[in-house]
Structure 1
Amino acid sequence: MSSQLSPAVTLHNVTYEWPDGSVALDSVSGTFLPGRTGLIGRNGSGKSTLLRLIAGELSPTDGTITRIGDVAYLPQTLTLNTATTVADLLGITNTIAALQAIEQGDVAEHHFDTIGDDWDIETRAMEQLHSVGLSNIALHRSTNTLSGGQVMIAALTGLRLRTAPITLLDEPTNNLDRSTRRHLYRYIENWPGTLVVVSHDPALLEIMGTTTELRAGTLTTFGGPYSAWSDDLAAQQAAAEQAARTAKNALKVEKKQRIEAETQLARRAAQGRKASTSMPPIIAGGFKRKAEATAGATRQLMDSRIASAKMAVEAAQSLLRDDEAIHLTLPDPDVPRSRRIAQLHDAHQTIHVQGPERVALVGPNGVGKTRFLQHLVHRTEPMPGGATGELLIDRVGYLPQRLMALEDNLSALDNIAPYAPHMTVGELRNQCARLLLRGDTVLRPVGSLSGGERFRVHLARLLFAQPPAQLLILDEPTNNLDMDTVTQLVDALSEYRGALLVVSHDDGVLDRLGITMTVEMTSGGGLRVMQ
């Protein structure tokens, strides 16, 4: 049935170049149909750039984009902007200002135009916030006092209030706890109009009706959710691997037959030379020319068959995916098991972190986990009545939830270099390449990088430091990362011999990190060691 629907978004040979001339997308064509579509692809493939083009934030260098109506857009970098209010996130600031102006006696016509039919917008907004568990958050509240998850769900609520024909969501489950994710899934299952979601969350991708992959500048659409797409891809890759093996074996056979043919031709030539000694020169010359012609035809046939076999191998191998992987080997920070690393306090107890322990800090959105980590790392004031703590070592690496510390106008290389003064530029570029930050990517302004690439820049600053950190504090470290990269990062961190303090809502990640202690932060500011 979906094949009969008219596209909501059509891209025709869309190319986008960054101001420095590097190409982000090259002649991309495709469509997005009404309904729910999961847009997937490796980090750096151009998914976020594509959404910004569809939303109108960027203009194509070449090509055209056609839309059936207005576009509402939730960016991946939403939580980086802290100079906003809840009303800004909901998109109702101007409407509320117009309502307040009228209440104060200003009856200018433009206020009524701004309000339209939304005279009850404040009531509806608060009802929507209440429905997603944000009932005690005022509309004028600054977003820098909210958790990343609260910011995300409030912005999603604003998009739902707007009801645009086309909605684009870039990594909407970043920072969301389990309960809030369930709210989001229910939200999305009933989302009106066209919805395009960039995500690496398998559960979210599973409620999409269509899966579209952006890979090597090509959009490919599959009529089903992520698991069906993944199964189909696995079957295709298995068939391609079998075809590649068959083609390689066929090439070996052709090469072997070529050698055998050359051997036969050499024998015949030797026999011909021996026989020609007893023949008249004219007859011997005729036999020689005929033998050479036969040999030439045989070689041409064999060469043609080898060339065809090589083309078959190349065609089969072109269908195989050879995705690049992060290769991290973390240095040993030499943390004795008897060494006290940190102390975490609440009103009733002190929790000791000792040696290379791996501690997970868990709890619902808004309980104060991120603020607690900031208190630990930067010695900021703790939440009133909340948990406190202190670090007992100096060599600490901190990866914040909101990756705000980067200089967006500087290149990735310039952002990393001050943190690794012991490395030459060549060494630094080699190490960056192990994080898949290679070529022109390390020279581009950080502001033009994808969320996953920005994360790698932060990770490089953390991991390239000398001496290496004895404690890594990671706040939602897998945000914005594709699933393959998450696996590679977790594999590397699982081999890290220092201490870890991790905030994550992904149970799979915590399990694979080998967490030795889980500490739950409660809404009253307490800490509870979970069994």
Structure 2
Amino acid sequence: MADISLSDLSFAWPDGTPVFDGLDVVLGPGHFGLVGANGAGKSTLLRLVARDLPPARGSITVTGQLGYLRQDLGLAAGRRVDEVLGIDEVRNALHRIESGGGTDSDFEVVGAQWDIEERAVALLGRLGLGYLTGTVRQLDRRLDTLSGGETVLLGLVAQLLTEPDVLLLDEPTNNLDRAARTRLYEAVAQFTGTVVVVSHDRDLLERMDTIAELRGGAMRLFGGNYSDYERTVEQEQETARAAIRDARGDMRKQSRELVEARIKLDRRQRYGQKMFENKREPKIIMGQRKRQAEVSAGKLRNNHLEKVEDARNRLDQAEEMLRDDREIRVDLPGTRLHPGQEVVGLHEVRLANGPVVSLAVRGPERLAITGRNGAGKTTLLRRITTEPPRVPWRSLPQRLDIFDEHRTVYENVADAAQHAEPQQIRAGLARFLFRGAAADVPAAALSGGERLRAALAVLLLAEPAPGLLILDEPTNNLDLVSLGHLTQALAGYRGALIVVSHEQRFLDEIGVTRQLELTPAGLVG
């Protein structure tokens, strides 16, 4: 039975920022979608399970063989396909044996893996990479001939070749076209062990049988797929909102009753003082009554104070249940374009990989470019910017590497908007949820979602205001909250968009007005 067991797991970053403190959970056989806000520790948890990071305290037990597809494969362009698959040494030994020059050590290296090349080619074909490796000799191809999506699939094949019992997948659909995603979905569905997937891909999360949410350093398991998880969370949020309304009502009631009690006690005290001054009763009796009144008043006051404190605690508890759903709200009138205004004009331009394309973009058009992995979509975006566009433009690359990593978020935006006043920049950053000290964090310390928001701020607050945004796979590595932030920011953008993305749901949400597919014959649509 393949499973992952975490006991008293604790981890903090070198600067002391805690990620987990005493996490206890068992993920048994099944398919788990690991979700949570950027910075919640999803990728960190996978790295801990994979032994890439040592825990500060606690234990991690993995039953069975572990496979781990990292978010950033970190693959050098000069490496060969068989090196990525981890079968290069076995292949070399096989070839020496087949040529008659094999040694005892070569036979030890091969072991029982005499069919390793055939298995590799078959698995590559199953995931749609058969055209890369039609013969075993194609295993010698180098990575710089592959697209980003093909590289991700190759990394998955490398893990599946080890026949793991537990499979960790960190954003496995990054850069994958729709056909490749479908094949990946099928491969995951057929995996019979334990799968833990970190992904922003709703369609993949809908195929999970349990959603594991990381929040505040704790993990909570929700039975069912992502839609089931959303319904459960929304029901809980409605309950929390009702509890807040009730708690606030009770708080007002208890506060009002406390005020009324104080008024009543003040009246009694004035009456008692007046009776004492008039000396209508013996002094000893009046003193005794005064002491009894003070005790009674103290009990009454304390009783009401306790009720107010209880009401305040219930309100605090109810508010803790309510999630922080902050939204990006931007209004960028300076980016507005007129209908018919020429933005991009390419005429029969030949791309490096073969297709000849013509493209015209006018006015505030929102254009999506799709196509299979390796079709040349990123190459097309680069060519668009070399013409150059007819309006001020900005580009968001896949890796979000547009920062000076050593400078703060504020400083990076100030570099892009050199004539803006400091208060103007900070006001703009606040709309991207960088308020106060959050704007003074170095770019290198940002989480994935924070990098996206910072990148959007650099692009959209730049001077001159960009009339064209070029986005290359902008949804990669985003959690679903950050994906919402991206669509919110683009909703306030008034210029033209050219977006490369395979996520139809995202394209629909940002209001794409035209969609073209890049094929060997050019742009079709």
Place the TM-score, normalised by the shorter chain, in its bin.
0.7 to 0.9
Q: Residues of 2 paired with 1:486 and 1:158: CA distance?
A: 29
SS in 1 for 2:474: coil
SS in 2 for 1:162: coil
Query: Which position in structure 2 is the counterpart of 1:452?
Result: 449
8 Å contact from structure 1 (residues 247, 312) kept in 2: yes
Please tell me whether residue 172 in structure 1 is matched to residue 167 in structure 2.
Answer: no
SS in 1 for 2:266: helix
* Deviation at residue 7 of structure 1 after TM alignment: 7.0
SS in 2 for 1:519: strand
Over aligned residues, Cα RMSD in angstroms? 2.9
1:225-236 alignment to 2 at 5 Å?
Answer: 225-236=225-236
Match of 1:95 among 90, 98, 112: 90
Superposed CA deviations along residues 272-325 of structure 1, whole A, max 9, x for unmatched, are 344442514503333322222221111111111111221122222222212444
Q: Which amino acid aligns with 1:526?
A: G
Please tell me whether residue 152 in structure 1 is matched to residue 147 in structure 2.
Answer: no
Superposed CA deviations along residues 316-339 of structure 1, whole A, max 9, x for unmatched, are 222221244444444623534343
8 Å contact from structure 1 (residues 341, 391) kept in 2: no
8 Å contact from structure 2 (residues 406, 443) kept in 1: yes
Q: How many residues align?
A: 511
1:390-429 alignment to 2 at 5 Å?
Answer: 390-393=387-390, 395-403=392-400, 418-422=415-419
Cα 1:453–1:262 shift into 2, 3 Å: closer
Query: Which position in structure 2 is the counterpart of 1:57?
Result: 52
* Deviation at residue 212 of structure 1 after TM alignment: 0.8
SS in 2 for 1:9: strand
SS in 2 for 1:139: helix
Match of 2:523 among 490, 513, 527: 527
Q: Residues of 1 paired with 2:176 and 2:242: CA distance?
A: 42
Q: Residues of 2 paired with 1:113 and 1:321: CA distance?
A: 57
* Structure 1 gap ranges (5+): 1-5, 380-389
* Deviation at residue 433 of structure 1 after TM alignment: 5.8
Superposed CA deviations along residues 413-465 of structure 1, whole A, max 9, x for unmatched, are 7766644545688876775565456757964673x654434434443432342
SS in 1 for 2:108: helix
Cα 1:80–1:374 shift into 2, 3 Å: farther
8 Å contact from structure 1 (residues 33, 194) kept in 2: yes
- Normalising by structure 2, report the TM-score: 0.88
Query: Which position in structure 1 is the counterpart of 2:111?
Result: 116
Q: Residues of 2 paired with 1:345 and 1:214: CA distance?
A: 50
Superposed CA deviations along residues 125-168 of structure 1, whole A, max 9, x for unmatched, are 22222222222213222323322222222222222222112110
8 Å contact from structure 1 (residues 325, 485) kept in 2: no
Query: Which position in structure 2 is the counterpart of 1:248?
Result: 248
8 Å contact from structure 1 (residues 80, 403) kept in 2: no
Please tell me whether residue 352 in structure 1 is matched to residue 353 in structure 2.
Answer: no
Query: Which position in structure 1 is the counterpart of 2:513?
Result: 516
1:489-508 alignment to 2 at 5 Å?
Answer: 489-508=486-505
Q: Residues of 2 paired with 1:266 and 1:39: CA distance?
A: 59
Q: Residues of 1 paired with 2:421 and 2:19: CA distance?
A: 28
* Structure 2 gap ranges (5+): 133-137, 350-355
* Deviation at residue 244 of structure 1 after TM alignment: 2.1
Please tell me whether residue 477 in structure 1 is matched to residue 474 in structure 2.
Answer: yes
Q: Residues of 2 paired with 1:247 and 1:81: CA distance?
A: 58
Q: Residues of 1 paired with 2:310 and 2:2: CA distance?
A: 41
* Deviation at residue 268 of structure 1 after TM alignment: 2.7
Q: Residues of 2 paired with 1:241 and 1:23: CA distance?
A: 29
SS in 1 for 2:286: helix
* Deviation at residue 10 of structure 1 after TM alignment: 1.7
8 Å contact from structure 1 (residues 361, 503) kept in 2: yes
Please tell me whether residue 40 in structure 1 is matched to residue 35 in structure 2.
Answer: yes
Cα 1:444–1:66 shift into 2, 3 Å: farther
Please tell me whether residue 306 in structure 1 is matched to residue 308 in structure 2.
Answer: yes
Cα 1:22–1:247 shift into 2, 3 Å: closer
8 Å contact from structure 2 (residues 357, 522) kept in 1: no
Please tell me whether residue 339 in structure 1 is matched to residue 345 in structure 2.
Answer: no
SS in 2 for 1:234: helix
Match of 1:86 among 73, 81, 86: 81
